[in-house]
């Protein structure tokens, strides 16, 4: 049994879930396998109707589920409402766009007749993290189910409760609980045809290797160490500064696409730091996620708190940010900080901190800033801030990142139509947009060359077509 505590009040048990061993995983995959043919064979319209019913069943429970998510994850209540609302909006987006993206194409022309179908894989295994558990399950389930797959989800043991409620409302979704062992049993199951993973580097490598050993294709959404690049002409209003502060400190910095390194022109560094600290004072209130006005809760575990404190304590000068309310001794709270005076080799710069601390890095030239921003093994997201949008887009094209935000960063810059995913070691495959739907189908074709159709010119046996 996994007993889930509230990270803001660690003596409070929020709920518990049973751990699935290998036989539990096998049973779940077999149930998903048994359902997949009928589900895929039915009309797309019927699948979309079932998904819309799922959304309609979840929507009236938004408040109740948001409280559950806040209590199990430590994320502020408004964020939890936002997360579930965005997940439902994305589900509806998929319902709207799936017919166009998944349509059969049947072309008959001078080259012959070519029918192209988007065929579902079968059973999709979804292994998901705790930090946005509802969204990150939905980015897999909505396109996978619409395309005619069935699914087995293994959520993180650190936030298994809300996502269980969401999964139960959707058609043909099985859920299995546990840690790495359960995850391994799932991704190596011979009836699993596709693996969808979101999480960190170590688990990503283990899962990628395990899926690879079965020749099961995978989509990998891994960690990031996102640079936010303030170009020399940046012109931030107080609201822009607040948005930039929350781009780092939302979910206590535990977001894959959080702004994790701030590159600021040296001659404007003091002006930037003062405005940033002032914005944090206005917008950042640390406390219990259920307290009104709180914008930053605890981190997820004692281990995470220790890791972040150690990272911050190593080097540089930490400037504490924001205000606090309530009893912070009751949970895993970490004081948010802006850290100055760090060399590029500092661990807070080179590693994904995944916590409420961000380094301010000063640069002299734009070229130098770009080179330093790109000097990372990770390439998930990034941002460029400039008074000149053209210039920002030009720089965006030179950043080694899968998603570059312009004049914003993190969740305020997301769109269901924009494919999201990393370059370099931040992963492969995409979520959202057309690509996010195509991730869950394989293209199959039926083809009759014109030469052999009625009235065709024929072709010598064994010849290549002349193009
Ligand atoms: P994690 O990698 O520790 O765990 C993710 C999931 O994998 C969990 O369900 C976990 O139980 C499972 N798991 C762990 N080891 C496994 C193994 N060896 N075999 C099978 N399953 C295993 O990640 P986390 O702490 O939950 O989330 C934090 C990480 O996720 C950060 O690195 C963050 O950047 C990343 N992340 C990426 C995205 C993205 O879209 N790219 C989004 C959110 C989070």
Nearest ligand 1 atom, CA 187: 20
CA of 103 to the centre of ligand 1 (A): 33
- The DSSP 8-state label assigned to residue 290 in this structure reads T
Q: To test ligand 1's pocket by mutation, which of 160, 184, 203, 219 has the most ligand atoms within 8 angstroms of CB?
A: 203
Confidence (pLDDT) at 253: 98
The CA-based dihedral angle spanning residues 325, 327, 333, 338, taken in that order and rounded to the nearest 10 degrees = 30
The answer to whether the CB of 225 falls within 8 A of the CB of 392 is no
Q: How much is the pLDDT for 467?
A: 85
Longest Cα–Cα distance of the chain, Å, equals 83
Helix (H, G, I), strand (E, B) or coil at 371: helix
- Taking domain 227-413, whether its CATH number is 2.60.120.580 is answered by no
Ligand 1 centroid – CA 127 distance (Å)? 8
As a 3-state breakdown, the chain gives helix, strand, coil percent values, each rounded to 5, of 45, 25, 35
For 17, left (φ over 0), alpha (ψ -120 to 50), or beta? beta
In angstroms, the CA 131 to CA 163 distance is 12
Domain boundaries, the chain: 2-222+426-445, 227-413
Residue environment code for 351-362, b if the CB has 16+ CB neighbours within 10 A, otherwise e:
bbbbbbbbbbbb
Instruction: State which residues of the chain have pLDDT below 50.
Output: none
Architecture of domain 2-222+426-445: 3-Layer(aba) Sandwich (3.40)
| pLDDT at residue 97, as a whole number | 98
Quote the radius of gyration of the chain (alpha carbons, Å): 24
Q: Best of 199, 224, 226, 431 to mutate for ligand 1, by most ligand atoms within 8 A of CB?
A: 199
Q: Which among 241, 353, 242 has a CA at the least distance from the CA of 299?
A: 353
Q: How many CB atoms lie within 10 A of CB 453?
A: 12
Residue 200 CB less than 6 A away from ligand 1 = yes
Which residue in the list 221, 242, 400, 431 is annotated as catalytic?
221
Distance CA(267)–CA(270), nearest Å, equals 8
Count the Cβ atoms, other than its own, within 10 Å of residue 310.
10
User: Closest ligand 1 atom, CA of 206?
Assistant: 18
Active site residue 239: no
Q: What is the pLDDT of residue 313?
A: 85
**Contact 156 CB / ligand 1 (< 6 Å):** yes
- In the sheet with 441-449, reading across from the earlier edge strand, the strands are 105-109, 112-120, 441-449
d(CA 147, CA 136): 18
Q: Which helix (H) or strand (E) holds 314?
A: none
Q: What's the pLDDT at 466?
A: 87
Residue in 450, 280, 433 with CA at minimum distance from that of residue 356: 280
Q: Whose CA is nearest to atom 19 of ligand 1?
A: 180
pLDDT digits (tens, 9 = 90+) for 10-57: 999 999 999 999 999 999 999 999 999 999 999 999 999 999 999 999
- DSSP type of residue 274: H
């Amino acid at each position: 049994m996994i007993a889930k505590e509230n990270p803001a009040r660690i003596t409070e048990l929020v709920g518990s879930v049973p751990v699935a061993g290998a036989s539990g995983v096998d049973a779940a995959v077999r149930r998903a396998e048994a359902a997949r043919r009928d589900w895929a064979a039915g009309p797309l319209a019927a699948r979309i109707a079932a998904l819309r019913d799922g959304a309609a069943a979840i929507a009236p429970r938004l408040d109740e589920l948001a409280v559950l998510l806040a209590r199990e994850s430590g994320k502020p209540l408004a964020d939890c409402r936002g997360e579930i609302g965005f997940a439902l909006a994305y589900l509806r987006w998929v319902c709207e766009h799936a017919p166009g993206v998944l349509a059969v194409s049947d072309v008959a022309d001078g080259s012959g007749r070519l029918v192209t179908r988007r065929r579902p894989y079968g059973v999709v295994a979804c292994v998901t993290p705790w930090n946005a558990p509802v969204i990150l399950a939905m980015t897999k389930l909505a396109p996978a189910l619409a395309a005619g797959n069935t699914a087995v989800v293994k959520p993180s043991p650190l936030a298994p409760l809300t996502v269980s409620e969401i999964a139960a409302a959707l058609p043909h979704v099985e859920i299995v609980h546990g840690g790495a062992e359960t995850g391994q049993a799932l991704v190596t199951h011979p009836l699993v045809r596709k693996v969808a993973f979101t999480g960190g580097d170590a688990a990503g490598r283990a899962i990628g290797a395990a899926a690879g050993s079965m020749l099961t294709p995978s989509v990998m959404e891994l960690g990031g160490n996102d640079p936010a690049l303030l170009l020399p002409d940046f012109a931030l209003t107080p609201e822009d500064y607040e948005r930039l502060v929350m781009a780092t400190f939302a979910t206590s910095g535990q977001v894959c696409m959080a702004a994790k390194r701030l590159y600021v022109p040296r001659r404007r560094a003091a002006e930037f730091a003062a405005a940033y600290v002032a914005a944090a004072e206005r917008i950042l209130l640390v406390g219990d996620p259920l307290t009104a006005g709180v914008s930053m809760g605890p981190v997820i575990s004692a281990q995470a708190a220790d890791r972040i404190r150690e990272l911050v304590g190593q080097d540089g000068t930490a400037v504490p940010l924001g205000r606090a309310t309530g009893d912070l001794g009751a949970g895993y709270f970490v004081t948010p900080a802006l850290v100055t005076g760090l060399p590029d080799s500092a661990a807070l710069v080179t590693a994904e901190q995944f916590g409420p601390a961000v380094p301010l890095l000063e640069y002299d030239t734009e070229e130098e800033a770009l080179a330093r921003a790109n000097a990372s093994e990770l390439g998930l997201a990034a941002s460029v801030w400039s008074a000149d949008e053209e210039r920002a887009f030009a720089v965006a094209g030179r950043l080694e990142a899968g998603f570059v935000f312009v004049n914003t960063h993190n969740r305020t810059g997301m769109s269901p139509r924009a494919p999201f995913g990393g370059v370099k070691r931040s992963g492969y495959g995409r979520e959202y947009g057309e690509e996010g739907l195509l991730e869950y189908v394989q293209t199959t074709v039926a083809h009759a060359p014109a030469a052999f159709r009625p009235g065709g010119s024929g072709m010598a046996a064994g010849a290549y077509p002349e193009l």
